[in-house]
Amino acid sequence: MVQLLGVFILAWSLLLGHSPAWAAPPSTIPPEFQALTWTYDSGENSHGPSHWGELDSEFALCDRGQQQSPINLQNANPTDIPNLDFHYRASSVQVQNNGRTLQVNYEPGSYLMLEGQRFDLLQFHFHHPSEHSLEGQNYPMELHLVHRDRQGKLAVIGIMIDRGEENQGLRGVWENLVPAYTPATETSAQINANQLLPAKATSYRYRGSLTTPPCSESVTWIVMEQPIYLSSQQITAFTQLLPANNRPRQSTHGRSLQLDSSP
Ligand SMILES: [Zn+2]
């Protein structure tokens, strides 16, 4: 039952995705979003990251967990671990904006093989600035590709986004930057998740958590060593859409961090 409940909470949090740093007056928030009490605010009486654990007993891990995300990625042990085996294909996508992030829902059928397990790609979404840092360095944005296996375990690929050329692979999404509190909406965009990956597939791996309540610790994190790029205009369009939505770095509590030494 506990396990079932955990899966339910996970699925629920995935469905709802990630919420806003500014607190809009309650009357302007549509009813289906009003139950989302947590925010990214940092004020003393806010519902921001340092208070998530107090907001609901289901969120206790946000305060007390020992395997929380995001973290700073450094001093990894280079190891030749089994490579990521991508089976992504192009997909029509839905976009939704829950006031915390812009989420892009992917059609079933694309997956990642990780240590012999199939993890299906469900959705991807964005944070600004980045949540993880590489050798202490944050990036303007971070992309999260969320995958789930049949047992409900998650594997999330984090990819740093730096300023550079216009990202063609995300053009279809950027043509559909819907405003806050837009439920899942069909688009005419065709996205191929293969085009969202950096050229070199080396990655950091560690055991961590959701970076949003309930902060469940059932996530295999794969953070790519190389960034991808968005133009300054693309980054500005996103930051005008949503306030900062990055959870601060968490303690590693001595967790081991692997760095795949061969792509
Ligand atoms: Zn995320």
Per-residue pLDDT of the chain (263 residues; tens, 9 = 90+): 444 444 444 444 444 444 433 444 444 666 655 556 899 988 877 899 999 999 999 999 999 999 999 999 998 989 888 889 999 999 999 999 999 999 999 999 999 999 899 999 999 999 999 999 999 999 999 999 999 999 999 999 999 999 999 999 999 999 999 999 999 999 999 999 999 999 998 999 999 999 999 999 989 999 999 999 999 999 999 999 999 999 999 999 999 899 997 77
CA 222 to chain centre: 11
Secondary structure (DSSP) of 82-127: PPPEEE---EEEEEEE-SS-EEEEEPTT-EEEETTEEEEEEEEEEE
Decide the pairing of beta strands 111-114 and 117-127. Answer: antiparallel
Please state the pTM of the whole predicted model: 0.87
Distance 103 CA to ligand 1 centre (A): 9
In eight-state DSSP terms, residue 199 is S
82 CA → ligand 1 middle, Å: 24
Provide the residue ranges of all domains of the chain, joining segments of one domain with +. 2-72+84-247
Single out the residue of 129, 158, 124 nearest to residue 40, CA to CA.
129
Ligand 1 center–CA 18 separation, angstroms: 7
C-alpha dist (Å) from residue 107 to 39, 99, 182: 29, 23, 19
| Residue 163 alpha carbon to ligand 1 centre in Å | 19
State which CATH number among 3.40.50.300, 3.50.30.10, 1.10.1200.10, 3.10.200.10 fits the domain covering 2-72+84-247. Answer: 3.10.200.10
128 touches 117 (CB < 8 A): no
Burial group, residue 28, by CB count within 10 angstroms (0-12, 13-18, 19+): exposed
Query: Residue 164 is which amino acid?
Result: G
Contact 130, 246 (CB under 8 A): yes
